[in-house]
């Protein structure tokens, strides 16, 4: 019997795309990447752990902001190269800009328009 982690199709950098979706509303909160260790820790802790490509290290979502993501369900897509997590977003803020979702800009007349409010000033979140 193979390890469930072996069924994930990791990219050439050993990463897989991971989407966090609000379990109550269905809204996409964010997309990040996980390496094998991050995915294993996410399942073990039942909280989202990602891999920061810019910092080249594991990143426990909410470690500095307190806005953790409690895992309710995790799925692997048909190709095995994308993770979708149903999460409870603690504090209601997933984005480092202080918004509910990282997808806060909508294309209108060929321009990106900010359509979601800042719920909390980032300077009050990250001190």
* Closest to 33 in 3D by CA, of 52, 46, 48: 52
Domain containing 43: what range? 4-125
Joined together, the tokens standing for residue 110 give 């060929």
Phi, psi of 36 (to 5 degrees): -60, -45
- How does the average pLDDT of the chain come out, rounded? 94
Please give the angle made by the CA atoms of 95, 39 and 88, to the nearest 5 degrees. 45
CB 68 within 8 A of CB 61: yes
pLDDT of 123 reads: 86
Q: How many domains does the chain have?
A: 1
* Closest to 124 in 3D by CA, of 96, 86, 102: 96
Confidence of residue 125 (pLDDT cuts 50, 70, 90): confident
pLDDT of 87 reads: 98
* Closest to 67 in 3D by CA, of 17, 30, 106, 116: 30
- Which residue has 């800042």 as its token pair? 118
Interatomic CA distance for residues 40 and 5, integer angstroms? 8
For range 17-21, the mean pLDDT = 98
pTM score: 0.91
pLDDT of 47 reads: 97
Interatomic CA distance for residues 17 and 33, integer angstroms? 5
CATH number (domain holding residue 42): 3.10.20.810
For range 45-65, the mean pLDDT = 94
- Interval 60-76: pLDDT, tens: 998 888 899 999 999 99
pLDDT of 106 reads: 96
pLDDT of 124 reads: 87
């Amino acid at each position: 019997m193979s390890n469930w982690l072996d069924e994930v199709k990791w990219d050439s950098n050993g990463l897989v795309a991971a989407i966090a979706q609000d379990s109550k509303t269905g809204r996409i909160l964010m997309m990040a990447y996980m390496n094998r260790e991050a995915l294993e820790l996410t399942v073990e802790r039942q909280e989202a752990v990602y891999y920061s490509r810019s910092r080249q290290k594991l990143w426990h979502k909410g470690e500095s902001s307190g806005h953790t993501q409690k895992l309710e369900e995790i799925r692997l897509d048909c190709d095995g190269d994308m993770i979708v997590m149903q999460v409870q977003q603690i504090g209601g803020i997933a984005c480092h800009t202080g918004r509910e979702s990282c997808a806060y800009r909508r294309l209108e007349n060929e321009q990106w328009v900010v359509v979601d409010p800042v719920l909390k000033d980032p300077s009050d979140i990250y001190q």
